[in-house]
């Protein structure tokens, strides 16, 4: 950071206090010759992050969606990291396509363009299929990207171990578990067959979503390091001037980005976890087109219900219930005081509801949230990392379209609909039905299980069973319970 001149820029963007600045320069200045030089033609922060490697670029992409955290100038500079990084040569991409698909590129495509977008892991070319004349987008992984990511992740593991060793307070953040989670996400992103499968599943889930499109996967032209999708025409969702000139309603687009994400997360439990501006377009008819499915988030039904109750509590400003849900889910240690936690949450929520969205400082809000988690001993929940990260990114995209958008106003109808369908009498009946179906699958095995339990009890030494008559009663009770379950299941 010092060698590229980015240290000042970054410290200014985060309003770093003087002591931190002094420590940063004391540690950085004598060793700046060890730092990567980077591309001098780039702005300092972008130059430093790009030089560090693909894993750091991912972090820069998140920051690029939050001008309210890093400032407008910094966010604009970091936007380059989304899809405008230096590409690798077209000839290298064509050789990779031929190797992966097992055929010369000239046989597969009548046209194969220069790179039209380049990000940390791959770049995209526009091509035309020989067989059908269809225009397609061909995504090709960067040469050596697997090795580069492995190097970055190894460095993250080292940093996590150092943090756990020398900063005991960081243990609640579970740095090793976080990096392990990140490692798994990255490994999936480096196999484009898995991305093709994710795109196909996502398309099935969202086929009836109004105002939302996904380009189809062309499986015959996809492999581990190459992925081919149908071409999607549209304007970049990050180009406000172009959207205005085309007559699109940016406020409506921002609301739709938020509501789509919430619907996918709550309704399906499967959502696009990399929804920055570089991965979305706006079609001529106003539909949002999403692509790049390398990072997808999955949350189970129980977690979705917890998440929905927390959001609903904030929307209703019922901070006591929000606190109780945290305790019930085990997010806050039971030794803490639920009433104190509710008051801390009120300090988080009230500024959001009582202030215009343009005046809310997300940086200060996130800082206070971190203080709350530290005060109440909350540990990092790895199953929520992608959800929380995507929430931050999606709100940033929506606010870049319309700074006055308030996430809670948009979330209210989506969350209320989910609460009605998933938490209540209908949900209980549905859960019981699913439980009955699971038990029914074990129906043929239940007599055998009962017989084994009775035989095991009968074979127990007489003197021991005599001293513990409760065991016989327990075995008999278990047998009766299993039989009753079998009868009830088949009745249902």
- H-run or E-run covering 194: helix 192-206
Distance of CA 341 to the CA centre of its chain: 26
pLDDT value for 216: 94
Q: How many helices (H) and strands (E) does the chain have?
A: 24, 10
Lowest-confidence region among 13-17, 54-58, 115-119, 331-335: 13-17
| Nearest residue to 45 (alpha-carbon basis) of 94, 9, 3 | 9
Task: Quote the CA–CA distance of 275 and 292 in Å, as a whole number.
Answer: 9
Which member of 274, 318, 339, 417 is catalytic? 274
Task: Quote the CA–CA distance of 301 and 292 in Å, as a whole number.
Answer: 25
pLDDT value for 368: 65
Query: In this model, does residue 111 exceed pLDDT 90?
Result: yes
Query: In this model, does residue 212 exceed pLDDT 70?
Result: yes
Q: Give the residue-averaged pLDDT of 390-394.
A: 85
| Nearest residue to 174 (alpha-carbon basis) of 381, 330, 369 | 381
Quick check: 173 and 379 in contact, CB under 8 A?
Answer: yes
SS3 296: strand
Query: In this model, does residue 376 exceed pLDDT 50?
Result: yes
Task: Please give the mean pLDDT across all residues of the chain.
Answer: 83
Q: Residues 6 or more apart from 85 whose CB is under 8 A from it?
A: 50, 57, 118, 119, 120
% of the chain residues with pLDDT over 70: 85
Task: Quote the CA–CA distance of 382 and 145 in Å, as a whole number.
Answer: 25
Whether 274 sits among the annotated catalytic residues: the reply is yes
Query: In this model, does residue 72 exceed pLDDT 70?
Result: yes
- Global pTM? 0.76
Q: Mean pLDDT: which of 7-16, 325-334, 424-433 is highest? A: 325-334
| Nearest residue to 307 (alpha-carbon basis) of 336, 290, 328 | 328
pLDDT value for 381: 73
pLDDT value for 178: 81
Q: Give the residue-averaged pLDDT of 467-478.
A: 50
pLDDT value for 320: 93
pLDDT value for 67: 74
Which of 42 and 224 is assigned the larger pLDDT?
224
Which of 488 and 160 is assigned the larger pLDDT?
160
Per-residue pLDDT tens digits for 156-210: 888 888 878 877 767 777 788 888 888 888 777 889 999 999 999 999 999 999 9
Task: Quote the CA–CA distance of 82 and 117 in Å, as a whole number.
Answer: 9
pLDDT value for 280: 93
Query: In this model, does residue 283 exceed pLDDT 80?
Result: yes
Per-residue pLDDT tens digits for 303-323: 888 888 888 888 888 999 989
% of the chain residues with pLDDT over 90: 32
Query: In this model, does residue 465 exceed pLDDT 50?
Result: no
Contacts 24+ apart (CB under 8 A), 455-463: none
Tokens (6 digits) for 94: 């064509």
Per-residue pLDDT tens digits for 421-462: 776 666 667 667 777 777 677 667 777 777 787 788 777 665
Q: Give the residue-averaged pLDDT of 265-281.
A: 90
Query: Domain residue spans in the chain?
Result: 6-83, 146-186, 234-423, 428-491
pLDDT value for 156: 85
Lowest-confidence region among 62-76, 350-364, 375-389, 433-447: 350-364
For residue 217, what is the DSSP state?
B
Q: Residues 6 or more apart from 397 whose CB is under 8 A from it?
A: 65, 237, 238, 254, 257, 275, 276, 277, 280
Q: Give the residue-averaged pLDDT of 119-140.
A: 93
Query: In this model, does residue 486 exceed pLDDT 70?
Result: no
Q: How many CB atoms lie within 10 A of CB 408?
A: 15
pLDDT value for 33: 82
Task: Quote the CA–CA distance of 119 and 63 in Å, as a whole number.
Answer: 15
Task: Quote the CA–CA distance of 263 and 255 in Å, as a whole number.
Answer: 12
Per-residue pLDDT tens digits for 35-55: 888 888 888 888 888 888 888
């Amino acid at each position: 950071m010092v060698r590229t001149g980015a240290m000042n820029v970054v410290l200014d963007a985060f309003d770093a206090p003087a002591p931190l600045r002094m420590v940063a320069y004391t540690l950085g200045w004598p060793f700046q010759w060890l730092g990567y030089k980077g591309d001098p033609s780039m702005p300092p922060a972008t130059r430093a992050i790009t030089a560090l490697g693909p894993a750091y670029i991912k972090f820069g992409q998140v920051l690029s969606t939050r001008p309210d955290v890093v400032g407008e100038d910094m966010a604009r500079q970091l936007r380059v990291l989304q899809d405008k990084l230096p590409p690798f040569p077209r000839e290298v991409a064509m050789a990779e396509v031929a190797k992966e698909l097992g055929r010369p590129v000239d046989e597969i495509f009548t046209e194969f363009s220069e790179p039209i977008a380049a990000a940390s892991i791959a770049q995209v070319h526009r091509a035309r299929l020989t067989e059908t004349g269809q225009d397609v987008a061909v995504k090709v992984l960067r040469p050596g990207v697997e090795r580069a990511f492995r190097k970055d992740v190894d460095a993250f593991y080292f940093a996590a171990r150092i943090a756990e060793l020398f900063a005991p307070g960081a243990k609640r953040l579970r740095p090793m578990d976080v990096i392990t989670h990140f490692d798994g996400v990255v490994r999936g992103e480096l196999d484009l067959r898995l991305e093709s499968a994710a795109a196909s599943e996502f398309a099935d889930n969202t086929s009836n979503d109004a105002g939302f499109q996904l380009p189809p996967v062309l499986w015959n032209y996809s492999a581990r390091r190459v992925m081919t999708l149908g071409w999607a025409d549209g304007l970049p969702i990050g180009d406000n001037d172009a959207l205005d000139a085309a007559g699109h309603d940016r406020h409506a687009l921002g609301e739709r980005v938020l509501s789509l994400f919430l619907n996918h997360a709550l309704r399906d439990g499967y959502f696009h976890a990399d929804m920055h501006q570089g991965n979305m377009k706006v079609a001529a008819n106003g539909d949002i087109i999403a692509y790049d499915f390398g990072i997808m988030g999955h949350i189970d039904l129980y977690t979705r219900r917890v998440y929905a109750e927390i959001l609903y509590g904030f929307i209703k400003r019922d901070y006591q219930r929000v606190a109780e849900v945290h305790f019930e889910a085990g997010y806050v240690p039971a030794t803490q005081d639920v009433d104190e936690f509710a008051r801390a949450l009120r300090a988080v929520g009230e500024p959001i509801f009582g202030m215009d969205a343009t005046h809310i400082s997300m940086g200060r809000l996130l800082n206070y949230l971190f203080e709350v988690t530290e005060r109440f001993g909350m540990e990092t929940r790895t199953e929520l990392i992608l959800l929380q990260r995507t929430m931050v990114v999606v709100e940033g995209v929506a606010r870049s379209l319309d700074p006055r958008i308030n996430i809670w106003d948009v979330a209210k109808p989506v969350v209320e609909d989910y609460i009605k369908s998933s938490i209540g009498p209908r949900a209980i009946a549905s859960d019981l039905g699913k439980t009955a179906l699971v038990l029914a699958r074990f129906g043929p095995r239940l007599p055998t299980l009962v017989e084994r339990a009775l035989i095991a009890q009968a074979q127990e030494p007489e003197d021991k069973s005599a001293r513990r008559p409760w065991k016989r009663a327990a075995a008999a009770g278990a047998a009766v319970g299993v039989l009753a379950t079998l009868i009830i299941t088949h009745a249902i």
